[in-house]
Chain A
Amino acid sequence: MNREHIEELAALDALGALDGEDLAAWERACSEDKNVAQLRDELAEVAARLSWLAPEEKAPDALRRRVMDHVFGDATKVPEADRSFGWGAWAAAAAVVLLALAGTAATTEQTESIVVRDMRQDPDVLFLQLSGYGDYAGTKACVLWDSGQRGWYLQAGGLPELPASHSYRVWAVDAGGVVHDCGALPRRTGGLARHFVQPDGDIDSMQGFAISIEPAGSAPSAPTSPAVLISAGLRS
């Protein structure tokens, strides 16, 4: 490998653009030659400096709170939803025979907006965020969960359209690890979906919520596919 070739690979590596056989050859070269590794590090510094081209922005104050909440568990509302509930537990819970929420029903939009307004003002209402995974990274949803059993409200944005054969289905996992089917998300335009549920059953406390993709018109007792959005409390 001559100097020019080394510089090419170092530059492309620093830019994150190496692929194929070049990537393997470059990793070998770096492990075998200290000078090559040094050039890699120097160009990585140069490439990282490209970030200074970004216009100055002040990180939102809310972001600091989010980060500190997550790392140190500061939020008074977060711990209930943040109890560890890994994918293994999720899978196990999904296998449990579910308590169908037979009485769930969407309210009218007017009633919905009043209830949601009240929920937002209620200090006992948890606000949970769901994050997307894989192809759904970047998709967000939030849930207002009323532990006083008045119900919960879910809003999701940026959901890709699904073929008519499938729909998004919402699941709640209570503190006991029981998975509750909360019905299909109604279709809305622009990737926005809203869902309001008033469960009949007793749910003492909630670990989190998840959304999966299920065959339209089906009523599965457990998710039949991996969740595409899931709340922090269900992540390991």
Chain B
Amino acid sequence: MSNTPENDDRAIELDLLARITRRERAAFEELYTRYSNILYATALKFLKQDADAQDVVQDVFIQIWDKAKLYDPAKGKPLTWALTLTRNRSIDRIRAIQRRSRLRDDFEKESTVDESVGVREALSGVDASEKGQILRDAVSQLSGQQRKVIELAFFRGLTQSEIAEKLGEPLGTVKARARRGLMKLKEILGHQL
């Protein structure tokens, strides 16, 4: 493993997680300091509401505190694990909100709002961070159709079948676009991972 800043971060964060499993408060607070902004930003991007984003991030950190021993280093970096937890909890909340919206016969309005966010919004965002810029550059190299599938899946939480139905495309087409899009990102971001 080369001695890059990302690898240094990973080693530090692995140590923090190990100490968290031993219930070391200082380690948890350090991990909070490292992750809270990106997890909050991620949750806020999904949910749009500060209160909802805060709830999700709180739940994620509680899960990290309670379940750090379940983290498997072989399956990815600690940050990836935390981001995945944040995304999954955000999607769960979006789905719950959408179910409620349907109960209120307000789904059409929410769907309209949904269309205005996601990858396209991120591509035109004002985030000046280097990592954000790298991602936007990478995503901008995908076709519009590939971006759309990734947007609906990753940021809206739709399944492949739901995407196919929403776009009026065959399931096989959706699968192919997802594959090409993500493999392209893997190729572009390869050295960054």
Q: Give A residues with C-beta under 8 Å from B.
A: 4, 7-12, 14-20, 22, 41-60, 62-64, 66-68, 70-72, 131, 134-140, 160-161
Contacts and interface: CB of A to CB of B under 8 A. Distances in A.
A51 B86 contact: yes
Given A44-B80, A53-B122, A70 B58 contact: yes
B44 A57 contact: yes
Contacts of B52: 138
Interface of B: 25, 28-29, 32, 36-42, 44-45, 49-52, 54-55, 57-58, 61-62, 65, 74-77, 79-80, 83-84, 86-88, 91-93, 96-97, 99-100, 103-104, 119, 122-123, 125-129, 131-132, 134-136, 139, 150, 153-155, 157-161, 163, 175-176, 178-179, 181-183, 185-186, 189, 192-193
Q: Is the interface of A mostly helix, strand, loop or mixed?
A: helix
Interface centre among B29, B99, B154 (most CB of A within 10 A): B154
B37 A58 contact: yes
A22 B171 CA distance: 11
Given A12-B179, A48-B84, 7 more contacts: A4-B179, A16-B91, A18-B160, A41-B74, A43-B182, A48-B87, A160-B100
Interface centre among B97, B150, B160 (most CB of A within 10 A): B160
A70 B65 CA distance: 11
A51 B51 CA distance: 19
B74 to A, nearest CB: 7
A51 B92 CA distance: 16
A33 to B, nearest CB: 15
A70 B63 CA distance: 11
Contacts, number: 195
A16 B193 CA distance: 19
Contacts of A52: 38, 129, 131-132, 134-135
Contact of B125 (A7, A55, A68, A136): A55
A8 B178 contact: yes
A56 B181 contact: no
Nearest to A139: B100
B32 A64 contact: yes
A149 B192 CA distance: 59
A64 B87 contact: no
Nearest to B183: A7
A131 B38 CA distance: 24
10 contacts: A8-B178, A11-B182, A19-B160, A48-B83, A53-B119, A53-B136, A54-B44, A55-B127, A67-B61, A139-B100
A47 B132 contact: no
B19 to A, nearest CB: 14
Contacts of B193: 42, 45-46, 49
A51 B91 CA distance: 13
B181 A11 contact: yes
Contacts of A14: 182
Nearest to A71: B65
A131 B55 contact: yes
A68 B58 CA distance: 9
